[in-house]
Structure 1
Amino acid sequence: MEIARKKGLTTFDLKIIGIVLMFIDHVHQMFAIMGAPTWIDWFGRPVATLFFFISVEGFSHTRNKEKYLLRLLIGFWAMNIGTTIVQHFFSLGNMAIQNNIFTDLFVGALAMYGIDYFSKFKEQKKGKYILLGLVCLLLPLILSLVSLLGLSSGNMALISVARVIPLTLFAENSIMVYLMPVMYLLRNNRKLQCLSIAIVAGLFLFSNIGAAFTTNSQWMMVFSIIPILLYSGEKGRGMKSFFYIFYPAHIWILYIIASIIYNH
């Protein structure tokens, strides 16, 4: 007997929406040097938040959270290595590829892992779980400050930390990655998750109100609420590895195409 599907968007649908918007955003990023209009960038503003939500859902339901973190870490390393190779052979003016969403997702997932340790402390009353939880939450931020100190002092050993370990302040979305553990805490209340997104979007909007519709377009992340509210809670079609391949591949390909055109 076939089980009736819930109405709404599946995880697969959310990923497709995110991938399409992300691709449009990165077309703007790579071709901005050749005059791609600024408004194209607007399509990408909800993307990070949407993938944060997808990650919260994935982390909440995965049977092996350590393996989940390892996949993100391998993605981070692969992205860094591939980007180094691409930029060795191609250049696009003064623009360097700084994209690595695996940094954001790993730091956010590690923070969620830390929250799980706090839950274990609540159940078992063992102090080690508090310590482990704090390490998961704070270590990427502390090491970020150490690596930034290396940048200011010219210490290559400290700078290279960010190439090996995903660090908060080196993430594409910086401190905003901690929206993920907030949504993880609120995972049983979709409306409160959306409210947390709206609050962060409001902070971006009012941080530079005069330029909000132009240079400070991150407030448009609020539009991620629409597909999130339409989410049915169902996984949908399998798409486990596609994102891990598509994300770095499309950035490298767009960069190479833009480089060839720009330097022709």
Structure 2
Amino acid sequence: MFKSNDLNILSFPWNGQLPNSKQVVVRDIDVVGVGAIRKSQLLKIQANHDFILQTHSSFIPATVRSIYDEELKRTLQWLKPVSVNDISSFDFPTEVIHTFERSFPKTTAYLGVMLKPALESYLKEMEWSSWLLQDHWRYFSGFIRQKYPEKPALRELVNWEWIHAWLEIQPFEIEKSKGKQITVNPSLQVLALTENNSELQREKGLYTFVYDQETVKIAERKLDIYEAALLDLLAEDRIYTEEQLLEMAILEEIEPAINRNEWTKRIEVLLASAVLVKC
């Protein structure tokens, strides 16, 4: 947690610690337009604390200013700060690097002495084109792919941490439904690890990541070949009843073949893990 002018500023991604004071400072560069886990965290904090919102209007790029203004209005409706203070000075290079370190802790540790030159090089190449500090790192995985093509483990580590960072703030609104049709969770992200990754402590394979609205967490799952086939059948926003999905799955030419009951179990597992949702 960082402090500025003796005020308690809540830093994100949040580490779960709160100041003792009743008033907590949050910044537009961390909270405007967010949803998913971050919004849930803020609403929970709001129950016992008052928010002071710091804005940085003079630092918002002109290309996104109109969108920022609309998102700020919407955020104010649920954030309900006791005051809004516009900040005239802002150390962007320092703050954006602090955000990187919080969003990519395993990548930070992995890069070691390579970290500083890599971040400096990225920041020189990337134009500031958002208002959320975390968004400034959305192209970092592509940058790492070009800079270290011989390090697939590093590239996959960066992708893994960025998926978590992205899902943490996206404004997903997934309505709970008792419908009979099945589709993929709209927050679904997929990443293939091409080799065992010691930093992540994960084996090679295909992984899914979703925002689970019931638990307000990011759920990850390693898929087997049958679960992967089910996701392929539901690609491109396809929607089927469970019976239709079963019939199509049985026709899949996968060896070793599994029976109808086993396919049913795979569907139930994906539903329970929020990879699939009913609509």
What TM-score bracket applies, with the shorter chain setting the length? under 0.3
Structure 1 or 2: more strand by fraction: 2
TM-score by length of 1: 0.24
The structure having more radius of gyration, on CA atoms, is 2
Q: Which has the higher contact order (CA 8 A, sep 6+)?
A: 1
Structure 1 or 2: more helix by fraction: 1
TM-score by length of 2: 0.23
